[in-house]
Chains A and B, each alone.
Chain A
Amino acid sequence: MAEIMYWEAIMRAHDEEMANDPMVICMGEDIGVVGGTYKATSGLYDKYGEARVIDTPISENGYTGLGIGASFLGVRPIIEIMSVNFAWLAMDQIFNTAAKVRYMSGGQLTAPVVIRSPGGTAHQLGSQHSARMEKVFMGVAGLRVVTPSSPRQAYGLLKSAVRCNDPVFINEHELMYNMKGEVPGEEYFHPLEGSEIAREGRDVTLFGYNISVHWCLQAAEQLSKHHGIEAEVIDLYALSPLDRAGIRNSVSKTHRAVIVEEAEPAVGVGAEVMAIINEECFFELDAAPLRVSALNVPIPYNHALEKAALPNPGDVVAAVRGIFGV
């Protein structure tokens, strides 16, 4: 085990997969000579050359479609979209082609592309650089969606995503690229389905994914320290498909649930997990499930307003205290 940063973990996964298979390429804006806005592809251009580490024009739909077309012939493109906000421009090719081509061709074609992009809000980047789009991707059949909360996941999820025959969207986070964490020294492939117990507990389940796992963990510490409440934290690294069994198992144990999402509440992870709880284990509940979400506003520039628009660990603590009436 070595401690490395999230971006280094992603870079290492690229490097190993590109060394392993000459058909693995990566492409995106400023990923080659520059090495990527978040350094996630640094060093690869010099090592693998411009035919495999491709600086693309600023044509999100175009180069995403190009990657998908190449994948029809056995190429394994890792496509970086510089910011998830720009992925809106590539929705046509992601949804209309990558997600549907296997089905509408009766299984003849598949689009084994990986599309990775930083989702989430950073600091004061304004409305058009602060979208959280995981809910959009996870709402579409034919696409896998994963979202790493640690360098270990960032490394292992990308490794598996490259080899998997389905299109996989990896939702990263702008604020997490410099996060440090342990990553196995040997090769490691993380499952693309399932969930992880980030903290064991018996009183309430906090569901998080990506950055909100950390908010849940912080909240759990406070709840334990100040209120004697032992929260279980479930890391939903796979957003599509969601881990129904993992959700059921934890809620059946704790009988209470709070879902913590960085995005606006409507049609989101919280809504979906709640629906699954209803479907899977409604009668296990001792309290109505809650969600802690962003406000339903475009993200403001002003720092105080921005903070107010987003959920934080304190909101999670407050929600749990509300459930217990403490």
Chain B
Amino acid sequence: MKNTDKKRVLREMLFARRFEERCYEAYVERNIGGFLHLYPGEEACAFGVLEAAQPGHDYVITSYRDHVHAIKAGSDPRHIMAELFARETGVSKGRGGSMHIFDVAHRFMGGYALVGGPFPLAAGIAKGIQMQGGNEICICFLGDAANNQGTFHESLNMAALWNLPVLYVCENNLYGIGTRIDRSTAVLDQYQRVSAYNIPSAQEDGQDFDLVHKAATKAVEHVRSGKGPYFLELMTYRYRGHSMSDSNAYRAKKEERMWSGRDPVIMLRDRLIDAGVLTLDEYTDMDTAVLDEIEDEVIRFATESPEPKVADVEKYVLAENDPWVRGGVQ
């Protein structure tokens, strides 16, 4: 990967970091309601993997921690923020919220709130790809704790059985809400669990963009070449609580410090500075520009957008004027 590309990615990752931090503030300001799950600390996972894939061409599906994946898939951050602000201009027209970002035009197939729910949906999207005969793949990002759902096993089995073009990415941040992985899961290395289904897998440092990108390139190439599913485990950490209502009291401060010492944005920044393609001043300017963009473009758009009309509350429940409901056009 060229350094100019890495510089672009650095800006994108920084944007994602600042976007999420701004969501936190907007929640405190009561512009965002409900459950809000933020991504800071884990950026190298989404960016490393999707940089190795073809966002907008490949399908992406994930959990409720979904804003950043959607942005990298090609969604306009203004429309994501508008969704969080529950506006009609939101990607899901204000009906979804933080956990249900959908942007089908960019093949971002949704954020889902049921832990483990997307496993079979991703396999199904892959089945659809297979039937259409295209070279897309489906990439499914889920957490470590999701692997204890039955859907994990059911989906891996079917994906392997039918050779489906799906890449499962496990963002292992060591916790499912407040339960540490060793207290919920008998096998700590998640990538080992999929060997039961003869699915090739790998584990990688999820804080290092370059390493993730390299591992993901191999994974994507495997799936795209028709060799069936692949499972990539990325070791990572979320800085904030599980959601806004979580204070992180269950985590040792030492552990938190250890991980923030391996910040994915800072690591990529320093690598580019060491390579002589970026200066600290440039980075500071980049950060200022990002913060301004978020304020002037993203927040402003969301704030100025209208809310959905209350009269439209029953829209989108069922298909409108579907002729087959009346038995077709007879």
Interface of A toward B, CB cutoff 8 Å: 22-23, 25, 51, 54, 56-57, 59, 61-75, 92-93, 96-97, 101-110, 141-142, 144, 156, 160-161, 163-166, 189-193
**Interfacial chain B residues near A93, Cβ < 8 Å:** 117, 120-121
**Interfacial chain B residues near A25, Cβ < 8 Å:** 131
B121 touches A73 (CB 8 A): no
- Measured in the bound complex, the distance between the Cα atoms of B120 and A68 in whole Å is 8
A189 touches B318 (CB 8 A): no
B199 to chain A, nearest CB (A): 15
B324 touches A109 (CB 8 A): no
B contact residues, total (Cβ < 8 Å): 54
Contact of B328 among A96, A142, A163 (CB under 8 A): A163
- Given the interface contacts A59-B154, A62-B151, A74-B128, does A160 sit within 8 Å of B324 by beta carbon? yes
A189 touches B324 (CB 8 A): yes
**Interfacial chain A residues near B119, Cβ < 8 Å:** 62, 65
B124 touches A72 (CB 8 A): yes
A106 to chain B, nearest CB (A): 3
Interface of B toward A, CB cutoff 8 Å: 61, 90-97, 100, 102-105, 109-110, 112-114, 117, 119-132, 150-151, 154-155, 157-158, 161-162, 315-319, 322, 324-328, 330
B327 touches A190 (CB 8 A): yes
- Measured in the bound complex, the distance between the Cα atoms of B91 and A110 in whole Å is 15
B327 touches A69 (CB 8 A): no
Q: A70-B128, A106-B96 are known; give 13 further A-B pairs, CB within 8 A.
A: A59-B157, A63-B158, A65-B121, A66-B158, A71-B124, A73-B131, A96-B117, A106-B102, A108-B104, A161-B324, A163-B328, A191-B325, A192-B327
**Interfacial chain A residues near B91, Cβ < 8 Å:** 106
- Measured in the bound complex, the distance between the Cα atoms of B102 and A252 in whole Å is 46
B90 touches A106 (CB 8 A): yes
**Interfacial chain A residues near B326, Cβ < 8 Å:** 191-193
A94 to chain B, nearest CB (A): 12
A72 touches B109 (CB 8 A): yes
B324 touches A57 (CB 8 A): no
A70 touches B131 (CB 8 A): yes
B127 touches A70 (CB 8 A): yes
The total number of A-B Cβ pairs within 8 Å is 180
A86 to chain B, nearest CB (A): 13
B150 touches A61 (CB 8 A): yes
A165 touches B322 (CB 8 A): yes
A37 to chain B, nearest CB (A): 20
A66 to B, closest residue via Cβ: B124
Contact of A105 among B110, B124, B132 (CB under 8 A): B110
- Given the interface contacts A57-B161, A61-B151, A66-B155, does A109 sit within 8 Å of B120 by beta carbon? no
B164 to A, closest residue via Cβ: A66
Sample 6 A-B pairs with CB under 8 A, ordered by A number. A70-B124, A71-B128, A92-B151, A97-B112, A104-B95, A108-B105
**Interfacial chain B residues near A74, Cβ < 8 Å:** 128, 132
Contact of A141 among B113, B315, B317, B322 (CB under 8 A): B317
**Interfacial chain A residues near B92, Cβ < 8 Å:** 104-106, 108
**Interfacial chain A residues near B324, Cβ < 8 Å:** 160-161, 163-165, 189, 192
A102 touches B150 (CB 8 A): no
- Measured in the bound complex, the distance between the Cα atoms of B131 and A214 in whole Å is 42
- Measured in the bound complex, the distance between the Cα atoms of B95 and A141 in whole Å is 15
Contact of A66 among B109, B123, B131 (CB under 8 A): B123
**Interfacial chain A residues near B327, Cβ < 8 Å:** 156, 160, 189-192
Specify which of B92, B124, B155 lies most central, judged by the most chain A CB atoms within 10 Å of its CB. Answer: B124
Contact of B158 among A23, A57, A142 (CB under 8 A): A57
A217 to chain B, nearest CB (A): 23
**Interfacial chain B residues near A65, Cβ < 8 Å:** 117, 119-121, 123-124, 151, 155
